[in-house]
């Protein structure tokens, strides 16, 4: 039986909305890296170059993101399912099990993403049980030979080939 209460309908509608998948990373004051899997990422503005994502107040790295003046968004490639799950699961050694390096901007950058956007924090806005983090893009790298990951109804993977037509 499907429930028709508004929250259930909201989750059903939004859960069916296809997105890409990102991992957003940051360091705390001691330089320890933190990160999580995120699909609330969106483009906001061209002038200046702004993006946003939102973080649940329950996430353990909330304070690191709220206190830092920067963060890095990795748009995952279609073959990065393992990384996607690692950064969404409790009790995994997210950075210990992953290949990454510290960037010149002092941000933990994971290897092999489709694209990496290193951002200076532009604004943060409290919104219900999440905080919206808006970033101004300071540096972008793209692996043009790769394709991004697709996420839909809790399934994720490479973009199906028929997507592109001929
Ligand atoms: C595909 C996917 C998208 C997610 N998007 C978000 C998001 O936009 N914001 C968020 O706060 N959590 C999001 N999550 C959940 C977080 O990844 C998860 O709660 C987080 O890794 C928990 O971190 P913690 O163990 O450090 O608290 C998403 C999870 C998945 C699998």
Domain boundaries, the chain: 20-147
Is 20-147 CATH 3.40.50.720? no
Q: How far apart are the CA of 36 and the centre of ligand 1, in A? A: 6
pLDDT in tens, 86-130: 999 998 999 999 999 999 999 999 999 999 999 999 999 999 999
**What is the rounded distance in angstroms from the CA atom of residue 143 to the CA atom of residue 138?**
17
- pTM confidence score: 0.96
Q: Which residues does a 6 A CB cutoff place in the pocket of ligand 1?
A: 21, 36-40, 53-56, 59-61, 87-88, 90, 151
Sign of CA dihedral 3, 4, 10, 16: positive
Q: How far apart are the CA of 65 and the centre of ligand 1, in A? A: 13
């Amino acid at each position: 039986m499907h429930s028709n209460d508004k929250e259930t309908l909201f989750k059903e509608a939004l859960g069916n909305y296809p997105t890409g998948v990102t991992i957003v990373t940051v360091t705390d004051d001691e330089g320890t890296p933190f990160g999580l899997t995120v699909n609330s990422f969106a483009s906001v503005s061209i002038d200046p170059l702004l993006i946003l994502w939102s973080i649940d107040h329950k996430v353990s790295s909330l304070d690191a993101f709220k206190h830092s003046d920067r963060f890095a968004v990795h748009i995952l490639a279609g073959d990065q399912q393992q990384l996607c799950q690692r950064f969404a699961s409790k009790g995994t050694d997210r950075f210990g099990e992953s290949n990454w390096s510290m960037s010149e901007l002092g941000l933990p950058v994971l290897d092999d993403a489709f694209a990496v956007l290193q951002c200076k924090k532009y604004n943060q806005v409290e919104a219900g049980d999440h905080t919206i983090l808006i970033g101004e893009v300071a540096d972008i790298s793209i692996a043009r030979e790769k394709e991004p990951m697709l996420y839909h109804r809790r399934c994720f993977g490479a973009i199906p080939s028929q997507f592109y037509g001929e």
